[in-house]
Amino acid sequence: MKNDYELILVLVNSGFTDVVMDAARAEGARGGTILRARGTATKEMQNKYGIIITPDKELVLILVSTEIKDNVLSAVYKAAGLQTDGQGIAFSLPVTDVVGLKFE
């Protein structure tokens, strides 16, 4: 079954997933999946971007319709982006097939 969906991926410091999901839900996302992750950035990367990089991360996967993807991505980045304590990065990938979900 072909669909017009996007997968938004948000990598944030551990403990900031509620901030991400609150921002996403405010723009129409219904839910997400949270995975534990570990960052591997070097001191050079910390110096280049002027931020302290903590190794404990969480990855939030949010499936949304293409219609709301830009709004959700923007809201998530404003709430938990690099300039916040969440130090998150967010991006999306197109999803061509979805089964088992119904968006109305």
Q: Per DSSP, what are the bridge partners of residue 90?
A: 10
Dihedral angle over CA of 61, 81, 20, 18, nearest 10:
120
The pLDDT score that the predictor gives to residue 39 is 74
Below-50 pLDDT ranges, the chain? 1
Work out the number of other CB atoms within 10 angstroms of the CB of residue 72. 25
- This prediction's pTM: 0.83
Which two structure tokens, joined as six digits, stand for 23? 């921002």
**Alpha-carbon distances of 74 from 27, 38, 45, 60, 89, rounded to whole Å:** 9, 24, 24, 15, 11
The pLDDT score that the predictor gives to residue 99 is 82
For residue range 61-83, what is the model confidence (pLDDT) as tens digits? Answer: 999 999 999 999 999 999 999 88
The pLDDT score that the predictor gives to residue 1 is 45
